[in-house]
Chain A
Amino acid sequence: MAKKVLVVDDDVNTVRFLSVALEEGGYEPLGAYDGKEGMEKIKSENPDLVILDVMMPKKSGFVLFKQLRKDENYKDLPVVMLTGVADSLDELDAQSDDTFERPYDALREKFRKIIKEMKEDALVKPDLFIDKPIDPEEVVEKIKQLIGT
């Protein structure tokens, strides 16, 4: 039986082409379009891995991620996060609260705060961050390294 991978992203296109790539890679793709729907699918479909977009309506990827890590049933569920700032995560991680952040970069600042919160909550970071624009085949390759086929 093919392993199930759930893609949660409010961008229908991303869900669509990642699903195609996952299918090509031998996985059973599942799609959800916001955090709320994502949680429902996780509970009903019990996927082997979840690809989460960070910024989504209703429930952001990070809120959903935190919920999963705090839940006994899903605390070990592999999570891959899609972001626009994956390239600077280490830098963001190292920044302190009083680091001057340009006001325009709300996304980066949000990320920094979330990483800090995760540390405070003793939560393990997502298994992988993938930067946008996504190369679908590369994503599938990385998933293979995480959970096999």
Chain B
Amino acid sequence: MIKRNQIFWKLSAAFICTILLVLAAEILLGKINSLSSGRYLQISLIITIAVLLGSASAWFFVKYFIQHPTSKLSNEMNKLADGMNKLADKEFDFRLDENEKDDFGMLASSFNDMAEMLSLSQSELEKTRDYLQGILESSGDIIITVFPSGKIRTFNKGAENALGYRRVDIIGEPIEILFADPHERDAAIEKLTQTDNVVNFETRFLTKSGEIRDVLLSISQIRNSTGAIIGTIGISKDITRVSRLQVQLVQSQRLAAIGEVFTGVQHSLKNMLNACKGGAYMVRIGLKKDDRSMFEEGWEIVSEGISSMTNMSTDMLKYVREWKPNFERVELDNTLAEIDRVIKQTAKDKGVNFQLNVPPELPSVICDARMIHTAVMDIVSNAMDACLWKEYTDGELPELILGAYPDDDGQNLVIEVKDNGCGMTEEVKKNIFAPFFSTKSKSGTGLGLAITSRMIGIHNGKFDVDSEPDKGTIFRIVLPIDGTDKH
């Protein structure tokens, strides 16, 4: 560029000199015939000097007023172009010399400002990129991005760890190879096209070694600034361990439940068999001694044992069968009065002071009256047992109060059974509704409260139990007055 400029200016200067020489020659040729030789020499010298001076002036003019500024401009332009190229090559540290006070200095300063800004932006971009990459890399989740063609674009460390592939081997491969069942990928993509993102899609990945990993996959479309889809990102959580634990948990819960039933049945059976075994012994001795009364007594005990087993069998069926309650609007004070009649005499025989405490106008309740009767009877009979199991001191007497009242907002009817019996520990309280949980060694199948709890559950009612060992228990059944519909 520089050389070409110099040749141009030199040729221009030579061209001007030639024109001046031709002009001078023409003038001289016109005058020459009429001049003397001395005068001719003088004129020739003057012309020569003039031509030389003219050439020198022309040269000077060209050099300092045309050639010099143009060359500087070219120079600076070259530097600028050079700088631009460097910036394009990401040499963001490159700066132009700003020492010149002229327009070029200003231009260099602007260039440098631009380079500085570019450098800052680039550094910000790098920081953001590193930060995002750090997040992707440090995540334990499997994060994979995929081109619209379905080929793997990025594969994070979590994916490497979980699936056993190295990213250099997997990038560019079709995403399908990671799915244990490629149809599941199709299903996820199908869902994605409908909803734009898929959250916690349960699927299975295949590791490099052929193992199956259960994952929860969330996929989103990646769009560019114009909104065009440029790929998808899938974030998957490996839930293989959780899934296996869940299966184990279900199995162990099932086993525990079966264990509970077996142990419960065994506890109850032991007491019932105890009666049969003891009774049979008495029958045998009665026969041996020809003692009819002992024989009959023994047979009575055997029969009691058989009858307890029959009851347990009925209770077990009752507990597991499907119930069809007969809901109707019921005046529960009648039901409670009926319980009062049944319990009063038993309580008296056992030395328990029993009271019925029901206000005159009790709201009627939509319920199955038989079920409520059974449930309340069960709780009252438990309360009676609690009184019998306590050793009363300091003149305290066994007391049992059956009451009922509407709750504060009038939505529910509360049936309350209060005793000052042996009470329950927190541990017992926690388990009272569990099937076959029993604190009584002989009576009861351990199913009473479990059945009662189901009955109240059917009514959308709930239990509220306050109890303290050796102080007593308050057992409340809370029944929705308008039945189950509103709940």
Contact = CB atoms under 8 A, between A and B. Distances in A.
Interface of A: 10-11, 13-14, 16-18, 20-21, 24, 35-36, 53-59, 84, 102-107, 109, 131-137
A53 B440 CA distance: 12
A80 B277 CA distance: 19
Given A36-B391, A57-B388, A107-B267, A132 B274 contact: yes
Contacts of A20: 281-282, 285, 294
Contact of A104 (B270, B437, B440): B437
B448 interface: no
B277 A102 contact: no
18 contacts: A10-B441, A11-B271, A11-B275, A16-B278, A16-B282, A24-B285, A58-B390, A84-B270, A102-B256, A103-B434, A104-B435, A107-B438, A131-B270, A132-B274, A133-B271, A133-B273, A133-B277, A134-B278
A103 B385 CA distance: 22
Interface in B426-455: 427-428, 430-431, 434-442
Interface of B: 256, 259-260, 263-264, 267, 270-271, 273-279, 281-282, 285, 294, 297-298, 301, 304, 385, 388-391, 427-428, 430-431, 434-442
Nearest to B300: A13
A140 to B, nearest CB: 10
A84 B282 contact: no
A11 B274 CA distance: 10
A146 to B, nearest CB: 20
Contact of B263 (A10, A17, A36, A104): A104
Given A13-B275, A133-B273, 5 more contacts: A58-B388, A84-B441, A104-B434, A105-B263, A133-B274
Given A55-B440, A132-B270, A136-B278, A106 B391 contact: no
Given A36-B391, A104-B260, A13 B278 contact: yes
Contacts of B441: 10-11, 53-56, 84, 107
Nearest to B437: A104
B301 A102 contact: no
Contacts, number: 104
A15 B259 CA distance: 31
A134 B274 contact: yes
B427 A13 contact: no
A103 B441 CA distance: 17
A7 B294 CA distance: 19
A36 B393 CA distance: 12
B259 A102 contact: yes
Contact of B271 (A58, A59, A84, A102): A84
Contact of B391 (A54, A58, A107): A58
A10 B391 CA distance: 14
Contact of B277 (A10, A35, A84, A135): A135
Given A20-B282, A102-B259, A106-B428, A58 B301 contact: no
Contacts of A132: 270-271, 273-274
Contact of B278 (A18, A57, A131): A18
A103 B431 contact: yes
A87 B230 CA distance: 71
B271 A103 contact: no
B415 to A, nearest CB: 26
A18 B285 CA distance: 12
Contact of A106 (B285, B304, B389, B431): B431
A72 B179 CA distance: 78
Nearest to A18: B278
Contacts of B434: 103-104
Nearest to B442: A11
B391 A59 contact: yes
A80 to B, nearest CB: 15
B203 to A, nearest CB: 35
B259 A58 contact: no
A54 B440 CA distance: 10
A36 B390 CA distance: 10
B430 A103 contact: yes
B436 A13 contact: no
Nearest to B302: A13
A17 B298 CA distance: 8
B278 A10 contact: no
Contacts of A109: 427
A66 B304 CA distance: 33
A105 B275 CA distance: 22
Interface centre among A16, A56, A132 (most CB of B within 10 A): A132
A106 B437 contact: yes
A11 B298 CA distance: 14
B389 A58 contact: yes
B443 to A, nearest CB: 9
Nearest to B261: A104
A136 B283 CA distance: 12
A13 B297 CA distance: 9
A54 B267 CA distance: 14
Nearest to A23: B285
B265 to A, nearest CB: 11
